[in-house]
Amino acid sequence: MSQSALWAVMRAYNIPDADLLEAIYSRTTACMDPEDARCAIITFLTGVIQGGASFPRIFVVFINALLAVPPVCHKNKRSISRAQAEH
């Protein structure tokens, strides 16, 4: 998931500190060996760092948002309710 979509979901659910998390992750990079000048720097544009302190809560927010969206019936492209899906 793109980070911009993740922050939008957090704002839609009025999750506090979405702006703070966006600022923290806006410049997130990683390098396998920071002492090696030849090492490529990777910039994260999707998701968040697994194992980070914020990861479990962000994951729960995203999954809850997904569960709130009704599934789509692919044959006729219409949304169906959970009650309809269970029958």
Structure tokens at 36: 């090696």
**Shortest CA distance to 86 belongs to which of 64, 71, 68?**
71
Among 4-8, 32-36, 37-41, 45-49, where is mean pLDDT lowest? 45-49
> Sign of torsion, CA 13 18 22 25?
negative
DSSP label of 33: -
Give the start-to-end residue ranges of the domains of the chain: 3-86
Note the pTM of the prediction, 2 decimals. Answer: 0.55
Among 29-33, 56-60, 68-72, where is mean pLDDT lowest? 68-72
Identify the band that residue 83 occupies on the pLDDT scale cut at 50, 70 and 90.
low
Mean pLDDT of the chain: 75
Say yes or no to pLDDT of 84 above 60.
Answer: no
**32 touches 39 (CB < 8 A):** yes
